[in-house]
Structure 1
Amino acid sequence: MNRIDTVVHIVDDEEVVRNSLAFLLTSSGFAVRTHETASAFLALAPAIRNGCLITDLRMPDIDGVELLRRLRVAGAMLPAIVITGHGDVQMAVEAMKNGALDFIEKPFSDDVLIDSIGRAVSQAAAQVTDTAMLEATRERIGSLSDREAQVLKGVVAGQPNKTIAFELGISPRTVEVYRAGLMGKMQAKSLPELVRMVVGLDVGA
């Protein structure tokens, strides 16, 4: 996934700063969108599926720390970098505690910002991949029959076929048949791969 696939959202109340950052990042191959207030960005954030954030700390409507806190509460957190002026380090640390990936003190060199944004873009791309894989796994689980889902629950719990068979009132051979079928539907080549795939998901019948 290249840089243009992830949109860098710039939130800053100063138009000159927004335009300067946008020019720098666009020239470096990033896709960019600017927002003049944190409130404007918050309205759009829940719909963003592949993006990262650059935000100033000190803004008149909502400061950078509060912006990150609200994103986190809303479940709309993005890989974020905060830009801080002299004397704002304590606020920057608070931003990190609220999920910021990095903070950059003014004045900063173009290379420092580009490197940091590169890391944020890579993290955003990884999150998109993870989300897509999770959704695909949920769809595959949804394609299982009730009995296959019951067998899957037992398999993931580490139960041997005989125990699963006893609990479900079927033969161990029938469990093997269901197990082979669900492995195919889940597109899992091995038991460890199946377990990794569904760990943390609700696979109960």
Structure 2
Amino acid sequence: MQALAEQPVIHVVDDEAPLRRSLLFLLESMGWQAVGHESAEAFLAGVPDFPAGGGCLVLDIRMPRVSGLELQRRLQALELAFPIIFMTGHGDVELAVQAMKAGAVDFLQKPFKDQVFLDTVERAVQLSRERYAASCRHQEARAALARLSAREWEVARLLALGLANKEVGRQLHISDNTVHVHRQHVMEKTGTGSAAELARLILRADPHGLD
């Protein structure tokens, strides 16, 4: 059994208390950790850390004051990776399409069947786990590269681009021996063993790092 800290957490944000309670009961009956919020403001008042075990946000698209779409925009501005499933009423399809274009995982039109809801949550949780793993790899890569000095970074980037030691030396106006010393330091500090591994590390830290 997973440790509590590794369990997915499903947040349900809806101003309709009966529906919110019904969805929380359904999620909990399937063994999910579920937390209800009566408004977007209530969720934003204590925005949770993204759980290591994954999770998602089930969000009503129309709510008073701060709408579901506005909450989506605010979470994106905060760079929070919660996958969002929108719940929509009749006539909200255009809004739902707008939400999907902005990165929502899916939308469900009320009323929806329990199994459709649970299947959609399962997909969103799986996506969240993938995003969390990718985020961890990104942060680890950035931390490894942050250990390099300015000169070591210059050498690392040129090596990752496929340049030989002599070519690196010519571009940076340093000797082959100095390049060799920097190369050793770069490999030790980043835990890489080749230019190809170094290139993958740089691209994990920044997809445009070798542009």
Distance 2:209 2:94 in 1: 44
1:26 counterpart residue number: 28
Matches within 5 A, 1:14-93: 14-45=16-47, 47-50=48-51, 51-93=55-97
* Aligned pairs (5 A) from 1:1-205: 5-45=7-47, 47-50=48-51, 51-199=55-203, 200=206
Distance change in 2, residues 1:178/1:191 (3 Å): same
Q: Shift of the alpha carbon at 1:43?
A: 3.0
Question: 1:72, 1:98 within 8 Å by CA — same for their partners in 2?
Answer: no
Gaps of 5+ in 2: none
- The CA RMSD measured in Å over matched residues stands at 2.4
Code of the residue aligned with 1:196 in structure 2: it is R
Q: Are the counterparts in 1 of residues 81 and 128 from structure 2 also a CA contact under 8 Å?
A: no
Contact 2:41 2:66 in 1 (8 A): yes
Q: Distance in 1 between matches of 2:102 and 2:149?
A: 42
**1:95, distance to aligned residue in structure 2 (A):** 1.5
**Cα pair distance change 1:26/1:189, threshold 3 Å:** farther
User: In structure 2, do the counterparts of structure 1 residues 69 and 83 end up closer, same or farther at CA, with 3 Å as the change threshold?
Assistant: same
- Displacement after TM superposition at 1:109 (Å): 1.4
- The Cα offsets for residues 57-96 of structure 1, whole Å up to 9 and x where unpaired, read as 2212222222212222333352000111222211211221
CA offsets per residue over residues 156-195 of structure 1, 9 Å max, x none?
A: 3333221211233333244234323322321224322321
Using the size of structure 1 for normalisation, the TM-score is 0.86
1:203 deviation in Å?
6.8
Q: Following superposition, which runs of at least 4 residues in structure 1 exceed 4 angstroms of deviation?
A: 201-204
Query: Distance in 2 between the 1:201 and 1:115 partners?
Result: 32
Amino acid at match of 2:168: I
C-alpha deviation, 1:49, in angstroms: 2.1
Q: Percent identity?
A: 41
Q: Aligned pair in 2 of structure 1 residues 106, 194: CA closer, same or farther (>3 Å)?
A: same
Q: How many residues align?
A: 202
- Name the SS of the counterpart of 1:59 in structure 2: coil
CA separation in 1, counterparts of 2:81 and 2:101?
A: 13
SS at match of 2:103: coil
SS in 1 for 2:46: helix
Q: Show structure 1 runs of 5+ residues with no match.
A: none
| Aligned-pair CA distance for 1:42 | 2.3
Q: Deviations for 1:87-126, whole angstroms, at most 9, x for unmatched residues? A: 2211211221222110011221111111111111111112
The one-letter code sitting in structure 2 at the alignment partner of 1:48 is: D
